[in-house]
Structure 1
Amino acid sequence: METVADLAAAEDVLLFVNAAIASTGQREFHSDVDAQRWSLEFLHEYMLVNYRDLYAATLTLSVNDRNAATIILRLLQTGRDVSPAQRALEGRLIAKALRALPTNRVYRLFTALRRERVNNRRTRAIMREWLSERPDLTFDAIKYRSAFRDAVRHAHLRVDDLPHTSGDAAGELAAVLFNWRSTGRFRTPQFETWRRAHFDRRAVFELPYTVAEGFAAKHRITRVEFLEKIAPQMTRGERLRLQRSAARVGATGVASDFTDLSRMPLTRLAAFVLALPVVVRESRRAELAGALRAAALRVVGPRAGTWGSVAAVLDDSYSSSGSSEKRRRPLVVALASHFLLEALATEYRPLWLSGDVDPLMARARGVTALGDRILDGLESRPELLIVVSDGWDNAPVGMAAAVLRVWEERIDPARSTTVAHLNPVFDAAGLQVRRLSPSTPTVGIRDAENLPELVAFARFATGRTGIAELRAHITAQVDRWLAEEAPCAA
């Protein structure tokens, strides 16, 4: 039988997991950046001190990149008194998590380790392993030069010990990192182009876009000229991301034909769509909707059409506009979740708070009248009701909680309809993602791609599950995660 202490321990862990998924330490609609960061720092410290093994295991639970890097940093800072078995497990979790993180985030973490003077043997081994697995050290050397150089020094690493860097290649890599001004010409074409770009503005336009951008200011190249001439070096994703800013400054060579939209990750694609002017969304409706559906189907795979009847209450109220740092993020998650649930369900009914029926035209406006829309969703008695909202029910305040309480206690005590609330916003003041009602499971969400796993995880978020069951679930997730082939971020 679970004790009060067991239930409280489970609640502690769930508080942290939800925060680590939803919060990136940036300003939200209802809380500023300082409140977000202070709350996150407190939760990280509390988890590390009280539940270290579960703290490490949360790397497997879809926590966002910012919090994954923080977890790794804190584990490496405090490993002195950890048992050998726990240290070995943490090492495996950290190594795999690093492979999945974006490259810039890993180099930023390595810089933080150096700044905090974390230089134990385990840290150096993990850094050496990650650097040894990099697919293109030439590109890393010119794009992340100072961070790469500091990582090599901090890990006590010899450049010629890295793969594919023996002999002349190792010498040129070391020269770029430590003494490029005294080296003269390089045999490696990318190194030579990078060297020339320091004094020859023509060479700037032969570099990859992300490397060339740093040289544009040095040579006082206007934004129009830079975007026009660097366009051939851009990737498809860079073209899509930059075409609006290019149009604003009058650069016409960056335009994309939208043919590769379906290759974009679902949540990122939803953000791209919502950033487009309404007239563009209208004129390219078929392409955009097709791309979103294709991205959703890639995520769900064989689970397509297996969830039975699903109703979704999707928040497009004014607060879904997010903040200056996270523009439209709650609305982006709602739009991406719409297409994902459409792919998962056998029968699907979307209910936007605004009453709109065209998801591609979604925009943030109006009050958060969750109660009425939850009633509409429950009316058809679906097998699953998903609410994607920041939880600030204000029209009227508390109606959603009252509706859910009456439904669960009087109308559907057998719980034939499963209700889950997915919240993309961390409430810093409450140290949690805001809940709709005490009996309705609420979990944080950052990317819609994680929705299926989060819905399954939501059963632990009702306050009725103790730490033993939660620990068993997380342990099983760790075993599955470590057994999978590790992804490698570009």
Structure 2
Amino acid sequence: METYADLIECEDVLLFANAAITSTGQREFHSAAGEQRLSLAFLHSYIHGNYPDLYAATLALDINDHNAALIIANLLKRKGGSGDARLIARRLGRMSPPRAYRLFQELRRAGVNNRRTRALVRDWLAARPDLAFDAVKYRSAVKSAVRHAHLRPEGELGDFLFAPFSRSRYDTPVLEAWRRAHYDKGALYDLPYTVAEGFAARHGISRAVFLERIAPRLTRLERLRLTKSAERDGGRTEADLAAMPLVRVASYVLSLAGGERARRRTELVAALRASAARAAGARAGTWGSVAAVLDDSFSSFGSTVKRRRPLAVALACHYLLEALAGTYRGLWVSGGPDPILVRPTGPTPLGRRVIDALEQRPDLLVVVSDGWDNAPPGLAAEVLRVWRRKLDPAGEVGIVHVNPVYDAGRFDVGRLSAMVPTAGIRDAEDLPALVELARFAEGRTGLAELRAYLADRAARR
């Protein structure tokens, strides 16, 4: 028999998981960056202080890198906790290199230099596939990490980090390219894009020529980001959209003008569906009949620092659900029939769209929205209450609300109704796991099952 304290603990952990998945401490449509950071800081302090084991276990969930770095830093500041080492190392291994190096620099500024921290930095650096490449691309960060961990790189790497001009030649190609790029224009094209860009400016190379020649060195994401700027500067880069993560593809589509989207419809739809099929994997076509209510109201614009991010998540979820479902129906709150041409506009009549979606009693209804139901206010909550209590008390239709926006004032993502579970979402690829996690918010399973679920996720990482 679970106690009231167990129920509170379960709800607290789920609330924190929603925040850690969605919020990056940046401005949102309804809250400033300062509010986001203050709200997150309180949640981290509260959960870490009251449930330290579950706080560490959330690293096994699909939380974003911003919150993973905060959790790791807080765990490393705490005395003991050696049982967290494996989970920390695995989560750090999935973190992007720039974020990991920033974490190391933050630990150094905070004076966190215990044995666990030094071992973690040492092992992470040793596992890097090409540390010389990192030394060129993130030289100051690598240098800081090496010093903080009390490491002494030998040979060329050590010389490059602490006395780069002490050698007249390096045998490591990327280090030699960096040395030669100071006087040889041709050498800079053997360097990472971000490093080569600075040398190109120093040598006075035109942007169009530089982009054309550096193209083979671009990463997939660099190629995608530079596609539009390259055309503006007189050059051209080709991005393999289908190989990109689903939300990245959706964000790129939404960045295009309506006319260009219509002209490139076949290409863009094919890229979205290919990325969605890859995310669905073996689960493709296994979800039965699925309906979705997708928020393209004005608030889905997000903010100037997260431009159209909520709408990109909704568009990505549309194509992923299409891939997962046996039969699928997607409804945009604006009433627009064409997903490729969606844009953030108008109010949020979620209640009306939920009624439309439930008419055919699908196996699963997924609502992708920031939860600001305002046309009229509260209609969605009332529709869901009546549906659950009067029309479908047995819960034959599964209903899940996923929300891409953290509400700093509520310390949680906005909820449509107490009758349906809500989970935070950042990347569409996490949707299947979030639908699975949402069952804990329905009250049908409790703390023991949640702990078992977290332990299983940690074991599979």
Common fold by TM > 0.5: yes
Match in the other structure for 1:61:
61
Question: Are the equivalent residues in 2 in contact too, given 1:389–1:423 (CA < 8 A)?
Answer: yes
Question: Are the equivalent residues in 1 in contact too, given 2:137–2:192 (CA < 8 A)?
Answer: no
1:31 & 1:422 partners in 2: Cα distance?
A: 19
Cα–Cα, structure 1 residues 81 and 229, in superposed 2: closer, same or farther, change >3 Å?
Answer: closer
Deviations 1:30-85 (A, max 9, x none): 1000000011111111111111111111111100011111111111111x144xxx
Match in the other structure for 1:364:
344
More displaced 10-residue stretch of structure 1: 312-321 or 3-12: 3-12
Counterpart selection for 2:234 from 228, 237, 251: 251
Letter paired with 2:348: T
1:272 & 1:194 partners in 2: Cα distance?
A: 32
Letter paired with 2:103: L
Letter paired with 2:237: A
Match in the other structure for 2:142:
148
Shift in Å, 1:367: 0.6
Alignment of 1:462-481 (within 5 A): 462=442, 465-481=445-461
2:376 & 2:115 partners in 1: Cα distance?
A: 57
Deviations 1:122-171 (A, max 9, x none): 111111111111111121110011111111111122314xxxxxxxxxx2
Structure 1: runs of 5 or more not aligned? 161-170, 482-490
Alignment of 1:161-310 (within 5 A): 171-219=155-203, 223-224=207-208, 226-248=210-232, 250-252=233-235, 254-256=236-238, 260-310=240-290
Question: Aligned pair 1:322/2:281, yes or no?
Answer: no
Counterpart selection for 2:293 from 313, 331, 338: 313
1:117 & 1:201 partners in 2: Cα distance?
A: 41
Letter paired with 2:448: A
Question: Are the equivalent residues in 2 in contact too, given 1:227–1:251 (CA < 8 A)?
Answer: no
Letter paired with 2:74: R
Question: Are the equivalent residues in 2 in contact too, given 1:7–1:465 (CA < 8 A)?
Answer: no
Shift in Å, 1:201: 4.7
Match in the other structure for 2:119:
125
2:370 & 2:85 partners in 1: Cα distance?
A: 35
Letter paired with 1:419: I
1:126 & 1:56 partners in 2: Cα distance?
A: 16
Letter paired with 2:179: R
Match in the other structure for 1:46:
46
Match in the other structure for 1:36:
36
Secondary structure (helix, strand or coil) at the match of 1:420 reads strand
Structure 2: runs of 5 or more not aligned? none
Counterpart selection for 1:91 from 85, 107, 113: 85
2:308 & 2:206 partners in 1: Cα distance?
A: 30
Counterpart selection for 1:115 from 85, 96, 109: 109
2:203 & 2:430 partners in 1: Cα distance?
A: 43
Secondary structure (helix, strand or coil) at the match of 1:396 reads coil
Match in the other structure for 2:399:
419
2:436 & 2:271 partners in 1: Cα distance?
A: 26
Match in the other structure for 1:486:
none
Question: Aligned pair 1:104/2:98, yes or no?
Answer: yes
Secondary structure (helix, strand or coil) at the match of 1:367 reads coil
Alignment coverage as a number of residue pairs: 461
More displaced 10-residue stretch of structure 1: 20-29 or 110-119: 110-119
Counterpart selection for 1:405 from 380, 385, 398: 385
Per the normalisation by structure 1, the TM-score is 0.90
1:74 & 1:385 partners in 2: Cα distance?
A: 38
Match in the other structure for 1:136:
130
Alignment of 1:371-450 (within 5 A): 371-450=351-430
More displaced 10-residue stretch of structure 1: 349-358 or 456-465: 456-465
Deviations 1:88-115 (A, max 9, x none): 3x11101111111111111111111111
Cα–Cα, structure 1 residues 131 and 13, in superposed 2: closer, same or farther, change >3 Å?
Answer: same
2:442 & 2:173 partners in 1: Cα distance?
A: 58
Percentage identity across aligned positions?
61
Letter paired with 1:208: P
More displaced 10-residue stretch of structure 1: 441-450 or 278-287: 278-287
Deviations 1:346-382 (A, max 9, x none): 1101001111121111111111110000000011111
Secondary structure (helix, strand or coil) at the match of 1:26 reads coil
2:226 & 2:105 partners in 1: Cα distance?
A: 29
More displaced 10-residue stretch of structure 1: 195-204 or 146-155: 195-204
Cα–Cα, structure 1 residues 357 and 53, in superposed 2: closer, same or farther, change >3 Å?
Answer: same
1:187 & 1:251 partners in 2: Cα distance?
A: 36
Deviations 1:218-247 (A, max 9, x none): 556564554344334324442222111222
Secondary structure (helix, strand or coil) at the match of 2:442 reads coil
Deviations 1:252-285 (A, max 9, x none): 2x232x5x32211112111122212222222221
Shift in Å, 1:404: 0.4
Question: Aligned pair 1:16/2:16, yes or no?
Answer: yes
2:92 & 2:69 partners in 1: Cα distance?
A: 8
